[in-house]
Structure 1
Amino acid sequence: MSELSQQDAVKKIASIIKDVKFAMLTTTTAEGHLHSRPMTTQQTEFDGDVWFIGGKDTESVADMRTRPQVNLAYAKPGDGEYVSLNGTAELVEDRAKLDELWSDTYKAYFEGGKDDPNIQLIKIHANGAEFWESDGKIRTLYQLAKGALTGQQAHMGQNDTVKL
């Protein structure tokens, strides 16, 4: 467990997930199986919560309605940064928040536009996260080669678990 303060932990996670357009959202199905699907992350400043727009008639929303524990996975492989965030889903009805998050891109999913009755705001309250940051591709390759040649453990960057 990290010694990062709550504020520093939020900042660290925010810096990694910033600009990652899609997250893999994992829910638990009625049969008890884990099911992941890509979701478009709303570009709001991460403060411990993550927002999505989904459909009320989707399996993911049905899963969250009865089993709200979820996991989000973010990846920036080009930068060697990854986050696994666990939290609790809340299904929210808030017109002002929808107005804030809405983009005309969603018209492709919701026939009635912003007034479509199937729109469901999803707020994930983060409980904690684990993150990985490598030192970059060249440094990582160097560390792997060094470890293979010397038998010493390679330093692959930072990995930490934080409570949010």
Structure 2
Amino acid sequence: MSEDNLFNEDARAKIKELVENIDFAMMETHLGAKQTHIVPMSTKDVDDDGSIWFLSNKNSEHNNYIRDDDSIQLIYAKPGDMEFLIVFGKASIITERPVLEKYYGKTDDTWFDGVDDPNLTAIKVRPEDAHYWDSKNGKLVSLLKMGVGAITGEEQDMGKHGNLNP
């Protein structure tokens, strides 16, 4: 796997590409504790500035942790496509109606009583550092390439990984 570190716009574009392809993240808060708090979250958007958006309940444990410490880690994984992304950043809780209206969808009715639900908040994550692994071949081709490499002793192109500095 070759290393390809990306910066600024290229890094933001790679984050957007992977997040949109994977969708669900494991959101880790309470990072300074011996036992962190991790919850699955569906990504709503990656905006033009590279910020990642989620909807959340204002009384949730992760919202409470974000209010205490805005450090956050997002872990995205799509093993079938051999795509992985870890994002470290700063989170903020947003309650402005235009933002909530922008990101609220019909499927969110499962967790909220509409966009007017007083418990509805958005979480904005501003990435500060990220790392990705992306085979672009999927699991089957990657496994075949590993096998060919093991048999022939020749190094195979297994994809790319690198740091993302947005």
TM-score (normalizing by structure 2): 0.85
Where does 1:7-156 land on structure 2 (aligned, <5 Å)? 7-28=9-30, 31-45=33-47, 47-111=49-113, 113-136=114-137, 137-151=139-153, 154-156=156-158
Unaligned runs of 5+ in 2: none
* SS at 1:18 equivalent: helix
Q: Deviations over 1:76-108 (max 9, x none)?
A: 333221111111110112111111111122222
- SS of structure 1 residue aligned to 2:158: coil
C-alpha root-mean-square deviation of aligned residues, in Å? Answer: 2.3
CA distance in 1, matches of 2:6, 2:98: 33
Larger deviation, residues 129-138 vs 88-97? 129-138
Gap change, CA 1:6 and 1:160, over 3 Å in 2:
same
Distance verdict in 2 for CA 1:78–1:126, change over 3 Å: same
Change in CA separation of 1:31 and 1:141 when aligned onto 2, cut-off 3 Å: closer
The structural deviation recorded for 1:148 is: 2.6
Percent identity of paired positions between Structure 1 and Structure 2:
32
1: distance between equivalents of 2:45 and 2:16? 11
The one-letter code matched in structure 1 to 2:8 is Q
Bigger RCO (CA 8 Å, 6+ sep): 2
Q: Distance in 2 between matches of 1:97 and 1:64?
A: 18
Q: How many residues align?
A: 163
Check whether the contact 1:92–1:121 (CA below 8 A) recurs between aligned residues: yes
Q: Give CA-to-partner distance per residue, 1:1-47, whole Å, 9 cap, x none.
A: 95533011111121122143311101117854222111111045463
**Cα distance change on mapping 1:54 and 1:17 into 2, 3 Å:** same
Q: Secondary structure at the match of 1:7?
A: helix
State TM-score, norm by structure 1. 0.86
Query: Does the 8 A contact of 2:73 with 2:87 survive in 1?
Result: yes
